[in-house]
Amino acid sequence: MPIRESDDVVRVRQAVRVQAVAAGLGLVDQTKIVTAASELARNTLDYGLGGTVRIETFTGNPRRGVRLTFEDNGPGIPDLERALTDGYTTGGGLGLGLSGARRLCNEFEIESVVGQGTRITIARWK
């Protein structure tokens, strides 16, 4: 689904919540993946200049959960390690979105090419 405006962030949260429930995640895991999704969707919008998210559920053995892939064609992140440092922000935020999302998920992968864009995949399972 698209992430083009602020309301899309709300829609992403709602869609992720629905999928997390469908995948059978408990309340705590739902809240964690929804919150992580909110952070990454907001970054996609604010820093990635808009993009998309793909939401997938997996219900097979041995795990049940949700996987999200955020993609944008924005400016990219020049220094990933720095961006993942608690408190680092270039946009006047708290600088806890990326690092916090990583702590909230079981899986966290980030690829970014300066001048081309950013792709982040996260998953939460039980």
Ligand X SMILES: Nc1ncnc2c1ncn2[C@@H]1O[C@H](COP(=O)(O)OP(=O)(O)O)[C@@H](O)[C@H]1O
Positions in the binding site for ligand X (CB under 6 A): 39, 43-44, 47-48, 72, 74-77, 83, 88-91, 93-99, 118
One of 100, 106, 111, 119 touching another protein (CB under 8 A): 100
Nearer to Mg ion, 25 or 101 (CB): 101
In whole angstroms, what is the distance from residue 6 CA to residue 126 CA?
30
Q: Give CA–CA dist 123/43, Å, rounded.
A: 17
Residue 103 in contact with another protein, rule: CB under 8 A: yes
88-103: b (≥16 Cβ within 10 Å) or e: beeeeeebebbbbbbe
Does residue 12 belong to the site contacting another protein (CB under 8 A)? no
Residue carrying the six token digits 């944008």: 72
User: How many residues comprise the chain?
Assistant: 126
- CB atoms under 10 Å from CB of 3, counted, come to 23
Q: Where are the alpha helices (DSSP H) in 2-125?
A: 6-22, 27-46, 80-83, 97-104
User: Closest distance between ligand X and the C-beta of residue 87, in Å?
Assistant: 9
3-state secondary structure of 87: coil
Q: With binding defined as CB under 8 A, does residue 34 bind another protein?
A: yes
The CB-of-26 to ligand X minimum distance in angstroms stands at 26
**Shortest separation between residue 19's beta carbon and ligand X, angstroms:** 21
Question: Judged by CB, which is closer to another protein: 52, or 85?
Answer: 85
Place of tokens 């916090």: 100
Binding residues (CB under 8 A) for another protein: these are: 6-7, 10, 13, 27-28, 30-32, 34-35, 38-39, 42, 86, 93-94, 96-97, 99-100, 103-104
